[in-house]
Structure 1
Amino acid sequence: MADSETKNCRGLRWALIGSVTLNLLVAGVIVGGFVAHDRHPPRPVVGDVSLGAFTEALSPEDRDALRRAAQKRGGDFRDMRRAARADMTALIGALQADPWNRAEVEKILARHKARTIERVDIGETLIFDRLEEMSPEERHAFAERLLQGAQRFDKRVEHDDDRPAKP
């Protein structure tokens, strides 16, 4: 009888150890989730506003302001991404068709072009709005950074032009 009580105690002990371990794992996952969320919050709807040559010339504050303005239009960008994914699927299907349908591919590429133009138009509106909010000093500093970026680009192009052509 003492032998069966010892086995029951051992079984109960292992069940208790397993329960505590499982509870600690669950607590660790929950605490880890909170810590990770604070360190790495969810991605915003608009990750970064890219305006070509303007992007590097903008101050960090201007980029943040543009990002916030773009996030207010988040639905526009989300809808464009969904449409782009759907069109990519359609384009792949149209290209894999045998014989392929040129008219269908042209329609898909025309929708892609229209979306690209719409994104450029939104970016243009955002940059104009931001420029209007800048003080004259901020605009001059932006223009100076834009000039420096253009000069770096020109030097890089000149350097690339001096290289011999690859065979």
Structure 2
Amino acid sequence: MNTFKTEIVKTKEQSKTLAIIVVVLFIIANLYIFLIEKENQNVYLKSISFVIYFLGLFFLFGQSFIKPKPIGFFEIADTSINLRLDESQDTLLFIELDNIILKYTGYGSWWTHSIYGNKNYLLIACKNGENYNLEILLRNRSMKNDFKAFLNTEALQEKFQLKKTKNTTCEF
């Protein structure tokens, strides 16, 4: 029996106000460090500017090194989908599914958003009215191809829809 298994995760969302504050401070620190003449710089302001500069670099580029928090497992087999979230476990048979929508952003690599896997959202709607909105990780190309093979099976092909986000760099 073939199966595909991945983690269901919850990625920490950054506050928009914090992001704006960090970007403004980062720009001010860059201006102070690189554009003001060295003779006119205050030692304390220069030190604070370097701290803000490196914090800004982490905020801008270091987010991809923070691992998303796993909250469960997603497993798809030949006839069903198994979801394990916290303490509960649900098994969804393919005949019970109304549709499956994948918002695809790519898989994890050094060149994309995260080395752990990109945010790929999976919306599963059942015929009984239950909906599951999941964020899953696709870690590499082979994992993406395995998942694609399961979604292109006869049982799921008519129920599956793919939506790409604007910043998708890879084909699904």
Give the TM-score taking structure 2 as reference length: 0.27
Which has a greater percent of strand?
2
Q: Which has the larger radius of gyration?
A: 1
Q: Give the TM-score of the pair, scaled to structure 1.
A: 0.27
- Report which of the two has the higher share of helix: 1
